[in-house]
Structure 1
Amino acid sequence: MTLDSETFRALVTEASLSPSVHNTQPTRWRLGPDGRVQVLEDESRRLPVGDPEGRDLNVSHGSAVEGFCLAAGRRGLVVDVGHDGVHVAELTVRLGGVSDPLAAFLTQRRTYRGKFEGGAVAHAAMARFEQSEDLIVAQDPDHVAELARLYDEAGLRWFRNVPYRAELVSWMRLSRRHPSWSLDGLNAEAMEMSGIEATGAGLVLRPGVFETLDRIGLAGALVAEAAVVRSASAVALFHRPANEAPFDTGRRFHRVWLSFTQAGLSAAPMAVLADDTKARESLQADFGIGGERRLITAFRLGVAPARDLAAKPRLGLDALIV
């Protein structure tokens, strides 16, 4: 079959809801005259300091393609994912797809970075993940507290890296006046920051200010998230084969997150636990993740308070389709 423009745009719209590192949304889409879809990369969306090897970039691409495939299945379409050595991927769409149960949650998945609500609902939902081959679920409060401590220690080490902090701040949208507030990056609302907290974060993270606060022992407390992490009903360590292509990891990453949503859980990734060498090695040793596996990220999990949420910051189709 030949994929028509209207269906293509609808598929890209749903795929654009997929998670990406720092919400950079690096994946671009092109519909060829033969109906095939070329998946491309916007190189301006790379993170040369935080992701110099492009692993997270390619995880993001894989996540987006998985979103495209799930959206296609809901429309009775099958997507064959190929790699031509030129583009990120080349997709061939044909009839015959069956809707995957996870597809219904593409539009519902959210990152929740605030404090979770407790309750038996979250702990009951967690049981379905305990036998997963690529998830280790820590529910004991002492284990969660220890992970919270490691998270803050690793985060502080990374914040002390001036180029990394500058790169991160460049993707933070701390004021509604920022031109990209509703388009990409991490806005204050998504980070569960009040206006006062967002203004404070902008000051604390400035070059020179952070270093001064760090010298007098205040920086760690000001960027700490341990209290939020401890509110989680569990922390899930997501690990994959060490030799797996990041693109393929990204496809599985998206499916895992959607499965949390399907179970009624909210999630927030704690990527620094995998990015920081010291933290990653400690966790892999403590939780028995052998050398043939790689810790990809950790998710804090729980039930978010019920409330109306703003639309996700996302680029429009005119930017995504090239």
Structure 2
Amino acid sequence: MALDPDLFRALVADASLAPSVHNTQPTRWRLLPDGTVQVLEDPARRLTVGDPDGRDLGVSHGAAVEGFCLAASERGLAVTVHRDGDGVAGLALEAGRRPDPLAPFALQRRTYRGRFEDAEAGKASVARLAPADDLTVVEAPDRIAALATLYDAASLRWFRNAPYRAELVSWMRLSRRHPNWSLDGLNAEAMEMSAIEAAAAGLVLRPGVFEALAGVGLAGSVVAEAPVVRSAAAIALFHRPADEDPFDTGRRFHRVWLEFTRVDLSGSPMAVLADDPQARDAVQRDFGIPSDRRLITAFRLGVAPARTLPPKPRLALDTLIV
């Protein structure tokens, strides 16, 4: 079917709200003359140190395409996804689709990286989650505490890698004066940092400073998040078949996060538990995830405080549409 350019822009705007690694937003969109959509990649958005194999990149693309499909369903459109052409994917649309039940939650989904306070509300929401064979939900406080310890140890190992730390910092927006504060990356507001905390982070993560702190045994306390992790009502371990295409993983990843949103849960991915081989092996062993599955991430879950939230940092449509 012919896709109106204004409708195309609206679909891309909604799709852009999907999660991406470090909020890099690597997916680009092109409306072709025949009315189909070509999904492309901006290679400048690759994480060459933190994601050398492009696995997280593929997950990000899959999440974006799932966001496009959800937005299309709300407008009565069905999307067929092709992976056999140029670029990341090709999309063909046709009329006759009922709205996807998860579609309304795509605009509500938020990452919350602060401490959860309302434990009872969190537990009640976790109880409403539908069981899924790719989620292992951990609720016991001692088991959550064990994951918090693993998370801090893995984070410290990765922060000791200076190139990785530099790449991560390059996507952090620690001051409102940063030109990309409202466009992409991880700004201090999204990371639940006060202005003082953000300034301190910018200082301690500098080359030489972090190494000096590590030399006297203080680096661990700088990156530790165990108290925040332990405030979670649950940790959801998201795992998929080990040989699954990351693009397909990304589509499911987005839907899983929307399932959390549907029951009023906010989530924060603890990706280093999956990225760090030592931590990943420990999690899969200790929580009974079979060897033919791969841990994709762990979500820290709870009910976030009620408040007015700023718009998500997102690139302009004219950047996303090529």
TM-score normalized with structure 1 length: 0.99
Moved over 4 A (4+): none
Q: Does 2:66 correspond to 1:66? A: yes
Partner AA of 1:286 in structure 2: D
Match of 1:148 in 2: 148
Moved more, 65-74 or 282-291: 282-291
Q: CA deviation at 1:288?
A: 1.0
Partner AA of 1:313 in structure 2: P
3-state SS, counterpart of residue 101 of structure 1: coil
Q: CA deviation at 1:290?
A: 1.0
3-state SS, counterpart of residue 236 of structure 1: strand
Match of 2:217 in 1: 217
Partner AA of 1:59 in structure 2: V
Match of 1:81 in 2: 81
CA distance in 2, matches of 1:4, 1:221: 53
Q: Does 2:186 correspond to 1:186? A: yes
CA distance in 2, matches of 1:182, 1:59: 23
Name the CA shift for 1:282/1:200 in 2 (closer, same or farther; >3 Å). same
Contact conserved, 1:130 with 1:137, CA < 8 A, in 2? no
Contact conserved, 1:139 with 1:235, CA < 8 A, in 2? yes
Q: CA deviation at 1:132?
A: 1.2
CA distance in 2, matches of 1:86, 1:291: 33
CA distance in 1, matches of 2:287, 2:307: 35
Match of 1:7 in 2: 7
CA distance in 2, matches of 1:63, 1:195: 31
1:140-289 alignment runs, 5 A limit? 140-289=140-289
Aligned length: 322
Unaligned stretches of 5+ residues in structure 1: none
Match of 2:95 in 1: 95
3-state SS, counterpart of residue 29 of structure 1: strand
Q: CA deviation at 1:117?
A: 1.9
CA distance in 1, matches of 2:208, 2:33: 53
Match of 2:312 in 1: 312
Contact conserved, 2:129 with 2:259, CA < 8 A, in 1? no
TM-score normalized with structure 2 length: 0.99
CA distance in 1, matches of 2:127, 2:289: 20
Name the CA shift for 1:284/1:130 in 2 (closer, same or farther; >3 Å). farther
3-state SS, counterpart of residue 81 of structure 2: strand
Match of 2:19 in 1: 19
Contact conserved, 2:270 with 2:300, CA < 8 A, in 1? yes
Percentage of pairs with the same residue? 71
Partner AA of 1:228 in structure 2: V
Contact conserved, 1:214 with 1:220, CA < 8 A, in 2? yes
